[in-house]
Structure 1
Amino acid sequence: MVVMMMMMIDLYIIDGWVELKWGNGWEFVSLFSVIIHVLVSVSYAQNFNVMNFGAKGDGKTDDSQAFSKAWAATCGASSSLKELVIPPGKAFLLKPMKFSGPCKSRILISIEGYLMAPFKGPEWGEEKKKWLVFQGIHDLIIKGSNKIDGRGSDWWKSCNNTDNCMRPTALSFEDSSKLHVSGLTHINSAKNHISIHNCVDVHLEDLHIYAPHDSPNTDGIDISESRNIEIVDTFIGTGDDCVALNSGCYNITITHMTCGPGHGISIGSLGKNGEDAKVEGIHVKSSTLNASDNGLRIKTWQGGKGYARNISFEDVTFIKVANPIVIDQYYCPHKRCNEQSSAVQISDVSYIGARGTTRTSEAIILNCSKTVGCNNITLDGINISAVDNKAVSATCINAQGSWLNSKPPINCLK
C-alpha cells in the first residue's frame, strides 16, 4: 500500500469509488481504501521539528538559524515525503530568509505555530524587499491553521503612503512548480502578502489575508510570469488589490473568493514604460466583492504592447463597490502621463451574471485606447444598482462588443 502512494497517480472520484491510474493501467478501488493508503503513507513520512534544531518559539529569540538548519535537513533527506513541523503553542521570530531547492523529494510544511517578522529596523539588514522566500522547489505542500504576521505598520508609517517606498513582501514563491498552500491566515504585510513569480501548477485554498484598508500597497496575492494557478475559497481584505495579475499570467482561475476592502481583482497594470505584456486565460467565478474601491478591473498604461485576452468574469456579486466593472487603458496613478498611441490589446472579455450594488454613479467603465480599442467585449445578465437608488450609467471609449439583459444599458458599446 505504501509503495503505491509513493508513485505518481491520477484519480477520479465517482459515487464513492475512485478510478485510479498509475503506469499504463486503470483500477477501481473504494474511496475508503484510498484514504487508508494515504494515512499509511503519511505515517511513513520523515519528520523534522524546528524545536529539535534549536528554535525557542518564545516570540523574542531569533529562530532563523534553527529554521535554516531544519530546512536543510528536510530538503536534503531522501524519503517519499518529508515533513517540516512548526509546532503549535509557539511564536517564532524570523529574520528575512530563503528556503531554496531543489530538494530530494516532496515536502510538507505544517505551520501550526505563529510566524512573526521583525519590526522595521536593523534586524532586516540589507534585505528590504522580501521576508520569507521559497525558491526552486518542486512538489511542496504548505498547510496549517496559524498566522504569518508581516508586522508592517512601521513600514506603512515611514513610507508615508508613497508607492515607490521599498518594503518587503511577506511570502514569496519563485521558480517553483506543483505548490499547494492552504489553511493559513496572513496579516499586515509591509507590502504584498503573497507573491508568485515564475511558477507552474499552484493551488491556493482556504486562505485568509488581512490588512487595514488604508495600508499602502498591501496586495493580497500578486502573480507574475506564472501559469496554471488556482485560487479557491479565499478571503482577502487589504489596502490594495485582492489579487493582482501581472504580465506573463496564463490560465489563472479564481473561484469562491470574497474580496474587500481593497482595490478589487485586477489584471494589471500592464504595459508600463512600453512593456510588452501578455496575459491570457483568466477566469473569475462565483465570487463576491464587498465595499472595495474597484470590482473587476483591467488596467493598462498608454504606450504598452502585447495583449490581455480570453478573460471571463462569471457569477460575481458586488456589495457597495465603488467601480464594479472597469477597463482602464489610461491608467496613470500619479497623473503625469503623456498621451501615446500604442497600447496593450484587450480582447475576448466576458462579464456574465454580475449583479449587486455600487456606491457611485458609474457602474460600468470601458475606457479603451482611442487608437487600439478593445474588441469582443461581452456583457450579459448584468444588474447593478446604486445603494442610494440613484441612476447609474455605463460609459465607453472605443469599446467594441455586445450586451444583453443589462442594467444599466450599455448603449455606448459598439
Structure 2
Amino acid sequence: MEKVVAMFFMLSISLAYLAIGNAQPTFDVGKFGAVGDGKTNDSPVMGKILAPSANARRNSTSLDCWLCFKRVDGLIVDGPGQIDGNGETWWTKVPKNERPTALHFHLCNNLILSGLTHLNSQKNHITIHSCSGVSISNLHIIAPSDSPNTDGIDISLSTQLLISNTFIGTGDDCIAIKGGTSNINITRVTCGPGHGISIGSLGEDGSNQIVEQVYVTGCTFNGSDNGARIKTTPGGTGFARGVSFEGITLIASGNPIVIDQHYCNGRDHHCQDQEKAVAISGVTFSGFQGTSAVVEAINLDCSKQGCRGITINNVNISSSVGQDLRAVCNNAHGTTASTVPVVSCLLS
C-alpha cells in the first residue's frame, strides 16, 4: 500500500528471533483486512509480526534494510515489544556493506515511534531518511559496546525531528545526524556505551552536505567514548551551523566536547587538511557538568579554514580518574566564560 494514514502497530510479542532469510520480504496488509482509507482503524490487523528463525541468512537479492517503510504518512509504531536483530550472528561473519539496517523509514512524514526496545541490530538500529515531522520517544536501544556500526538512530535528509526520553547504549553513535538535516531537537536522552551524539561525519568523498538548527538539551553521557561531537572529512563542502549542546551531564565520558575536522573512518582516524572543508559556525556548548575519562576533555580540532562563532560557557568538567584535564585547540575562534578546563584559544 503506497500510503496509509495513521496506521497503528502494537507489537504485542517479543520479536526475539527476527532475521531476513529466503522468505518473501513484502507483506500486503490489504490481504489481511487493512483498508488504509485514512478513516478505518487498521490496528487490529497489525497485532503481530511473525518472522523466520534468526538462523536464516539474507540472500543476495534482499534489501539494505530489514524492516522497511516507504511513503507511509502518519505512521505510528508503538508498543511494549522488542525488535531483536540477533546481530551477533552478523557482526563477525557478514561485511558491513552487506548487513541491513534493522528499522528503516524513507519518505515517512508525521511519523511517531515510541515504547519499543531495540536490541542487537545487524547494523543501524533505526534509520530516518527523507522524513519530515518525526517524534521518537521512550525507546530503549541496546547492543554491546564492541558491536560494530550499531548506531542507535541515524538521521539524514530530514527535518522537524524530536527525540526525547530515550536510552541508547550501543557500539557506535548513539545518534548520528548526517547531511541534509535541519530542525532537530534532542532532549532527555541517555547515551552510553556508544560514540556520543554526533553531527556527521560530513563531507565524505568530497561531498557537499549541510546540517543546521540542531538543539541537544538535558542529555546524559554515561561511559560513552564521546559526548557532544561534530566530525567532518577534509575535502568536503557545505556547513554545520546553528548547533547547541546545553545542560549536559557527564559520567566518566570520553571526549566530552569534540570538534574533529580531520575525521576519516580509517585505521588512524586522522586525515590531513585539504583546500576545501565543511564550514563550522555558530556552535554552543553550555552547562556541561560532570566527569571526563580522558585528559583532553575539550578538543576543538578545526581545519585550516577555521571554526567560527564557537561558544563555550558554564562548563565544569573534572577527571573521573584523578588527572589534570586540558582543552586542546586548533584553528578555533569564538568566546568562552566560566569554563573548566580553561579554553585559552577562545576569547574570555
Question: TM over 0.5, yes or no?
Answer: yes
> Structure 1 residue runs of 4+, over 2 Å off?
45-51, 57-67, 69-82, 84-87, 117-120, 335-339
Distance (whole Å) between structure 1 residues aligned to residue 27 and residue 310 of structure 2: 50
Distance (whole Å) between structure 1 residues aligned to residue 211 and residue 226 of structure 2: 20
Whose strand proportion is higher, 1 or 2?
1
- Whether 2:50 is the aligned partner of 1:92: answer yes
- Identify if the C-alpha distance between structure 1 residues 120 and 383 changes in structure 2 by more than 3 Å, giving closer, same or farther: farther
- Whether 2:93 is the aligned partner of 1:144: answer no
Give the alignment of 1:91-240 within 5 angstroms: 92-93=50-51, 118-119=54-55, 121=57, 123-127=58-62, 129-159=64-94, 164-240=96-172
How far off is 1:277 after superposition? 0.7
The answer to whether the 8 A contact 1:128-1:166 is kept is: no
Gaps of 5+ in 2: 1-5
Matched with 2:301 is 367
Matched with 2:3 is none
Matched with 1:385 is 318
Count of matched residue positions in the alignment of Structure 1 and Structure 2: 337
> CA-to-partner distance for each residue in 1:247-305, whole Å, 9 max, x for gaps?
01100000000000010000000001111110000000001001010000000000010
- Structure of larger gyration radius: 1
**Of 220, 223, 246, which aligns to 2:178?**
246
Identity of aligned residues (%): 45
Gaps of 5+ in 1: 1-44, 52-56, 95-116
The answer to whether the 8 A contact 1:59-1:92 is kept is: no
Distance (whole Å) between structure 1 residues aligned to residue 30 and residue 293 of structure 2: 49
- Identify if the C-alpha distance between structure 1 residues 281 and 119 changes in structure 2 by more than 3 Å, giving closer, same or farther: farther
Whose helix proportion is higher, 1 or 2?
1
Q: Larger relative CO (CA 8 A, sep 6+): 1 or 2? A: 2
Distance (whole Å) between structure 2 residues aligned to residue 71 and residue 297 of structure 1: 44
Aligned-residue Cα RMSD (Å) equals: 2.9
> CA-to-partner distance for each residue in 1:198-220, whole Å, 9 max, x for gaps?
00000001000001100000000
- Whether 2:68 is the aligned partner of 1:68: answer no
Give the AA of the match of 2:276: S
The answer to whether the 8 A contact 1:311-1:349 is kept is: yes
The answer to whether the 8 A contact 2:211-2:239 is kept is: yes
The answer to whether the 8 A contact 2:258-2:298 is kept is: yes
How far off is 1:389 after superposition? 2.0
How far off is 1:80 after superposition? 4.6
Matched with 1:79 is 39
The answer to whether the 8 A contact 1:63-1:93 is kept is: no
- Whether 2:252 is the aligned partner of 1:327: answer no
How far off is 1:76 after superposition? 3.8
- Identify if the C-alpha distance between structure 1 residues 130 and 373 changes in structure 2 by more than 3 Å, giving closer, same or farther: same
Q: TM-score, normalised by structure 2?
A: 0.89
The answer to whether the 8 A contact 2:145-2:171 is kept is: yes
> CA-to-partner distance for each residue in 1:192-250, whole Å, 9 max, x for gaps?
00000000000001000001100000000000000000001000000000000000110
Q: TM-score, normalised by structure 1?
A: 0.75
